[in-house]
Structure 1
Amino acid sequence: MEDFNADFGGARTTGYAVGPVLEKFTGVSRIAVLRGGGLGDLMFALPAVAALKAAYPQASLTLLGTPIHAELLSQTEGPVDETVILPFSEGVRPGAEDEGELAGFFAGMQARHFDLAVQLHGGGRYSNPFLLRLGARHTVGTRTPDAARLERTVPYLYYQHEPLRALEVAGFAGAPPLELEARLCALPEFSQQLAPRLHMPPQAPEAKGTVVIHPGATDPRRRWPAERFAAVAHQAADDGFRVLVIGDHSEKELAEAVVELAVGRVQEAGQAAGNGGRGTPPQVESLAGKLSLGELAALLAGCSVMVANDSGPRHLAQALGTPTVGVFWTGNAINAAPLGRSLHRIHLGWATQCPVCGIDVTQVGWTAPRCQHDESTVEAVAPEAVYEDVRQLTAMSLHPRGR
């Protein structure tokens, strides 16, 4: 069996952080970092990017990412100097490959003469050959046993905290951690653009804060049911908070369902109280599909707390310093949950088998089959427990967060 220990590429160890910190490369003025995927994937990579920038302060850093990465990074303040959008390529950016486009991309990247290329995109089966085609002088990244070797490689095992995995890779490039979690700043111009959208209805009382809810997630199995989010939204509105439900264009229907269910709960409560459901309209509305990423960042940076599944917007809120209450499947919590609990709370779905076919859902990653069923693995999480954390965090958020 092939030896699967870390490959130091002959470098000496200069210290330890998340893992070994190896000696720095010399003469590095151009760095490329490969990380495809969505918002959450970008957040996982940013601590490593910040570490690389600190270790090589004279170098320019180019992220090879996706359109959503480019949009967000152009509309926030962060550690990336430039974003180049990846072409469609199997295992790197899903889509129909165009050989001409791929050839042109690699020709352009080779012409940049990168000194260091860092792979933060999975186990390397597809991403390591992709990285090698950049023609960089030095290469570092993760590697499964079947993946191409880079100059220095960290063994890829699925269950590892993603930001810490990326920091371990950065350590192999000679970059000790600067921070353990992503950090971004919203830009003031997007707060100004957002303001007209956030005017309160004339008949609504002044809210004591804003709770943002994101009910979506790329994998349906990570989604807490809409009625659970609605229960939290209703309670928050009843306590005097303004509740804004967010999502992208594909999540508009889901966001509107949460709003309708929350409003229905208020009307039912009014009927039970004998006023026929009439009274002050609940402060619950949907902004799904209406915000640019810069506006989303401004909204999240200014809200009291965010409630969400394990999703890109939740990870973005965390990077902006906003308190969050997250609903995670327990396996995803190992890889993606926040490290601290003073500003971030998590609630776990403990399902280990698909409720339909019984397959072991803990066996995930690059070798594991996925069944065809999309039933939620977090349905059992109680709304009352989630809202109790909302209460606690909004009480804390009355104090400055140091931003």
Structure 2
Amino acid sequence: MKILLIKLSALGDVIQTLPSLTLIKENYPQSIVDWVVDERNAEVLTGHPYLRKVVIFSKEIFKNPAKFVSFIRRLREQKYDLAIDYQGLFKSGMVIGLAKAKLKVGFENHRELSPLFYNVRLTAYDPEIHAVRRYLNLTFQAVRLLDPDFSSDIETIPEVVWPSLSPPQNLIEKPYIVFIPSARWETKWWIFDYWERLIELTLSTYPGLRIYITGGPKEETLKNWAKMIENKGEAVKSLVGTLSLKELVRLIKESQLVVTVDTGPMHLASALKIPTVALFGPTSPLRTGPWGGRFKVLKSPLDCSPCFKKKCRHWDCMKAILPEQVFQTMKEFLG
């Protein structure tokens, strides 16, 4: 059985697809599985023991004919029994359309005309079902097209398997917790004043604890703020823009607790089953909340939440989640 998985981005979505990879390999250990992924998220899959190869996708291929030809050649090296589109957008539809696969499968209500590239369109999914379970359901139905006798308890989320991880940096001191203030949508951010108050509450109660702040390399506002907080004392350290994806996985894996907004690294914590406090305002935890291990979601009480807006003039939903409330929840995990 030769299977091609197509999940390009974003990081959190790629992580939420990993249980589906486990589902396939646990039931069909001799199967050959390849994965097409955006270059920004490829590191988390590179060297994965369940994958034969990772095919790198980039928007740059459309600007460079030689890169486009190289991508097509690598994509079409193998003829697959099954290709599954987890992304459900035009770009992933194009990828599955170009792939050499007997069955090209996705949901009929996938977006941006992507179903036009499928030769098997599954019944529309319920958008209120959590993404991890939606992907597992897609995998289950797709694999049954090849093996009608396939049965599995997809109500139980399979364990995520990881490639080898980079060792933590020498500067990491234990015990520690991880704060993740940022996301791609600015509306998901929790305001800096609240993070500062939370840091004060945490260190006054747990003086032996270290706090590491993480974020992406392009988040200059976060980087400047985190550096300013770091300069105030030795207990807080900024790692914003300094970690590779695998180093981030290792950092989270060895932490005692993660406090985070709705962002990709939150799903790393879920996959690693690290205790998590997740803050939700414009998005729905029913769709994309934590899903593994011990966690607590603090959701905005405002009627407008979730609005699923990437921009907002007020930011009231995240402001309604107070630092004292978050700290009380942290204490449930830290003791």
TM-score (norm 2): 0.84
Indicate how the Cα distance of structure 1 residues 317 and 223 shifts in structure 2: closer, same or farther if over 3 A, else same. same
Corresponding residue of 1:244: 212
1:79 Cα deviation after fit: 3.8
1:177 Cα deviation after fit: 5.0
Mapping of 1:44-59 within 5 angstroms? 44-59=16-31
Contact 1:211/1:243 (<8 A) preserved: yes
Indicate how the Cα distance of structure 1 residues 256 and 182 shifts in structure 2: closer, same or farther if over 3 A, else same. farther
Aligned-partner Cα distance in 2 for 1:151–1:59: 21
Aligned-partner Cα distance in 2 for 1:255–1:235: 22
Aligned-partner Cα distance in 1 for 2:81–2:163: 31
**Structure 1 unaligned runs (5+)?**
1-27, 90-94, 200-206, 265-280, 354-359, 365-369, 396-403
SS at match of 1:137: strand
Aligned-partner Cα distance in 2 for 1:384–1:214: 17
Deviation string 1:213-237 (CA, Å, 9 cap, x unpaired) is 0111011111111121222222222
Indicate how the Cα distance of structure 1 residues 374 and 67 shifts in structure 2: closer, same or farther if over 3 A, else same. farther
Match of 2:41 among 69, 75, 97: 69
Corresponding residue of 2:172: 198
Deviation string 1:55-105 (CA, Å, 9 cap, x unpaired) is 332112111002233212237x6643421111428xxxxx85445533442
Aligned-partner Cα distance in 1 for 2:8–2:182: 20
Indicate how the Cα distance of structure 1 residues 52 and 224 shifts in structure 2: closer, same or farther if over 3 A, else same. same
Name the aligned partner's letter for residue 331 of structure 2. Answer: R
Corresponding residue of 1:357: none
Indicate how the Cα distance of structure 1 residues 96 and 103 shifts in structure 2: closer, same or farther if over 3 A, else same. closer
Deviation string 1:295-336 (CA, Å, 9 cap, x unpaired) is 222111111101110111111122122111111126431211
Contact 1:211/1:236 (<8 A) preserved: no
Aligned-partner Cα distance in 1 for 2:92–2:189: 28
SS at match of 2:170: helix
Corresponding residue of 2:241: 289
Aligned-partner Cα distance in 2 for 1:373–1:343: 31
Contact 2:186/2:310 (<8 A) preserved: no
SS at match of 1:291: coil
Contact 1:217/1:311 (<8 A) preserved: yes
Corresponding residue of 2:86: 120
Aligned-partner Cα distance in 2 for 1:102–1:157: 35
Indicate how the Cα distance of structure 1 residues 184 and 327 shifts in structure 2: closer, same or farther if over 3 A, else same. farther
Contact 1:161/1:334 (<8 A) preserved: yes
Aligned-partner Cα distance in 1 for 2:200–2:311: 33
Aligned-partner Cα distance in 2 for 1:307–1:181: 24
Aligned-partner Cα distance in 1 for 2:283–2:306: 9
1:374 Cα deviation after fit: 6.2
Contact 1:63/1:82 (<8 A) preserved: yes
Identity percentage of aligned residues: 21
SS at match of 2:219: helix
**Structure 2 unaligned runs (5+)?**
145-149
Aligned-partner Cα distance in 2 for 1:69–1:372: 24
Aligned-partner Cα distance in 2 for 1:170–1:244: 36
Give yes or no for the alignment of 1:159 onto 2:110.
Answer: no
Indicate how the Cα distance of structure 1 residues 261 and 100 shifts in structure 2: closer, same or farther if over 3 A, else same. closer
1:346 Cα deviation after fit: 0.7
Aligned-partner Cα distance in 2 for 1:284–1:256: 14
Match of 1:183 among 127, 135, 160: 160
Mapping of 1:102-141 within 5 angstroms? 102-122=68-88, 124-141=89-106
Give yes or no for the alignment of 1:329 onto 2:281.
Answer: yes
Aligned-partner Cα distance in 2 for 1:392–1:385: 11
Corresponding residue of 1:393: 333
1:379 Cα deviation after fit: 2.0
1:292 Cα deviation after fit: 2.0
1:381 Cα deviation after fit: 0.6
SS at match of 1:288: coil
Aligned-partner Cα distance in 1 for 2:222–2:310: 24
Contact 2:62/2:68 (<8 A) preserved: no
RMSD between aligned residues: 2.9
Aligned-partner Cα distance in 2 for 1:371–1:187: 35
Aligned-partner Cα distance in 1 for 2:231–2:238: 12
Corresponding residue of 2:147: none
Aligned-partner Cα distance in 2 for 1:181–1:373: 37
Aligned-partner Cα distance in 2 for 1:72–1:298: 11
Deviation string 1:116-162 (CA, Å, 9 cap, x unpaired) is 1011003x544334312202011222232753143242414543311
Aligned-partner Cα distance in 1 for 2:171–2:250: 12
Give yes or no for the alignment of 1:88 onto 2:62.
Answer: no
1:184 Cα deviation after fit: 4.1
Corresponding residue of 2:259: 307
Match of 1:222 among 182, 188, 198: 188
Aligned-partner Cα distance in 2 for 1:295–1:129: 32
Aligned-partner Cα distance in 2 for 1:262–1:352: 36
Indicate how the Cα distance of structure 1 residues 347 and 79 shifts in structure 2: closer, same or farther if over 3 A, else same. farther
Contact 1:215/1:224 (<8 A) preserved: yes
Q: How many residues align?
A: 320
Name the aligned partner's letter for residue 51 of structure 1. Answer: L
Contact 1:47/1:181 (<8 A) preserved: yes
